[in-house]
Amino acid sequence: MTNIESTRSKFFPGTKTNVSGSNAAKINALKRNDATRTTELNDMAKRDTNVAIPEAIKDFSRIRKAVDAAPEVDNSEKIARLKAQVQNGTYNVNYEALADKILSEEL
């Protein structure tokens, strides 16, 4: 089995190979940016890292928060009552309210 340290390039940080002379200076120069370049990179990052969130997603988020904050509604009693009325034949349809609801949905 070969030793990984012996096959690594001298370029990678953390290598344990001995570097001397002008190569050592070149490798050390690669480790950090000077202050001007660091400022330039930070300015580019601030300018170019934007995230645009569409209004539809924002609206969905607001609606979701409102729904999550709303109290839970238990309609099981109302549903049971309506089922019983339908089964007994005593349920009466309010045709005017039904028509109004249909029209409001369409418009």
Q: Amino acid identity of 29?
A: A
What does the pLDDT read at residue 17?
55
Per DSSP, 72 falls in state P
State residue 26's pLDDT score: 62
The predicted structure's pLDDT at residue 25: 62
Task: Identify the DSSP state of 5.
Answer: H
21: left (phi over 0), alpha (psi -120 to 50) or beta: left
Please report, in tens digits, the pLDDT of each residue of the chain (107 residues total). Answer: 556 555 556 666 665 555 555 666 666 656 677 888 889 988 988 888 888 889 999 999 999 999 999 998 899 999 999 999 999 999 999 999 999 999 998 76
Q: What is the pLDDT of residue 76?
A: 93
Write the burial class of residue 9 (CB in 10 Å: 0-12 exposed, 13-18 middle, 19+ buried).
exposed
Q: What is the model's pLDDT at position 34?
A: 82
CA distances from 15 to 7, 28, 46, 105 (A): 10, 13, 33, 70
CB 78 within 8 A of CB 91: no
Burial class from Cβ neighbours inside 10 Å (0-12, 13-18, 19+) for residue 17 reads exposed
Predicted pLDDT at 100:
92
